[in-house]
Amino acid sequence: MVKILITGSLGQIGSELVTILAKRFGKSSILMTDVKEPAVKNSEDVEFSILDVTNADSVRSIVRENGITDIFHLASILSAAGEKNPQKAFAVNSTGTFNVIDAASSLGINRLIIPSTIGVFGPETPRDNVPDITITRPTTMYGITKVSAELLSSYYHDRFGLDVRGVRYPGIISYLTPPSAGTTDYAVDMFYHAVKHQEYTCYLSPETTLPMMYMPDALKSLLRLFDAPASSLKHRLEYNISSFSFNPQELYGEIKRHVLDFRVRYEPDFREEIAKNWPRTLDTSEAAKDWGFSPEYSFKETVSDMIVNVRKILDLA
Ligand code: SER
């Protein structure tokens, strides 16, 4: 029997992944966890427990006591929040991830999924068509902790045979749960401000291009990787994925086709410094070859779908 633990299950990805996993495996096969109580009960009525991943004993106990077979480790402090509190980012992303990896290995977990990020790249990484294996010398605490997660995952796989897998996510665009202070999140904010106020002040420069993807493709990809035969995987977490790249000016132009009187001002802050050291475009061919990565939503389709759903959520449809 499968019993899946999700850490960080109330976050942007977790809150949507839980619905898909509950549908596929049954709600009694899922255990949602997060460091805080949910504000509202999840619609799937999946069991929830508090889990602070920085506490190694709590991680081991929850895995042991619930007969956990597989883990999606999504608890993470993103790039912008990480620069505001680097100590917390290290605790959650490095100590927490070590605790989860070590528990998964010693307690015989079948598959451990850990998303990585474009945050692992830095100023010395080429900016375009970036391959999976390249220079990864980030300048943010988020990036440093995620490179360390990638290396730890390879170490535990090679040394102890742990089946640990992941993708390097680009910016993820979604409407259900707001993202928690990443650098790419302007792309989500812009939709809400466009629909609600018809104006937005963007913290990145108009020409700062970043790789992005829509949530349905982000989830589909993670599950496809989860299902892939172990023998087909060449990397552990180092699979670049993205659907398209755009900059704030291009996103503004596309949203304006739906919200005619939308206006944007640019006031770049510290997040611009983070974004300009990340790639503009990624080479995703290894993910396609090894486990069939194939996103469906184009940039235009993503924008149209977001507008419809943000209007619905704000009750303006
Ligand atoms: N969305 C993340 C961030 O901006 C990058 O993976 O921090």
Atom of ligand 1 nearest to the CA of 168: 6
Distances (CA, A) of 263 to 179, 195, 278, 310: 23, 11, 26, 17
Given a cut of 70, whether residue 33 has pLDDT beyond it is: yes
Record the pTM.
Answer: 0.97
Supply the pLDDT for residue 43: 66
Atom of ligand 1 nearest to the CA of 169: 6
Average of pLDDT values for 73-101?
Answer: 98
Please indicate whether residue 142 is annotated as part of the active site: yes
Q: Is the CB of 277 under 6 A from ligand 1?
A: no
The encoded tokens of residue 82 equal 């990480």
> What's the 3-state SS for 77-114?
CCHHHHHHCHHHHHHHHHHHHHHHHHHHHHCCCCEEEC
Cβ–Cβ under 8 Å, residues 141 and 89: yes
CATH of 173-211+244-281+298-313, one of 1.25.10, 3.90.25, 3.30.460, 3.40.50: 3.90.25
Q: Is the CB of 93 under 6 A from ligand 1?
A: no
Mean pLDDT of the chain: 97
- Structure confidence by residue, pLDDT tens digits, 64-82: 999 999 999 999 999 999 9
Distances (CA, A) of 183 to 117, 118, 293: 12, 11, 24
Supply the pLDDT for residue 316: 77
Residue nearest to atom 1 of ligand 1 (CA): 171
Given a cut of 80, whether residue 189 has pLDDT beyond it is: yes
Residue nearest to atom 6 of ligand 1 (CA): 117
Give CA–CA dist 158/121, Å, rounded: 23
**Structure-token match 């005619």, residue found:** 260
User: How many angstroms does the Cα of residue 83 sit away from the middle of ligand 1?
Assistant: 12
Query: Probe ligand 1: pick from 167, 185, 269, 271, max atoms within 8 Å of CB?
Result: 185
Cβ–Cβ under 8 Å, residues 14 and 72: yes
Domain ranges of the chain: 4-170+213-240, 173-211+244-281+298-313
Asked if CATH classification 3.90.1150.10 holds for the domain at 4-170+213-240, the reply, yes or no, is: no
pLDDT band at 102 (very low <50, low <70, confident <90, very high): very high
- Structure confidence by residue, pLDDT tens digits, 192-209: 999 999 999 999 999 999
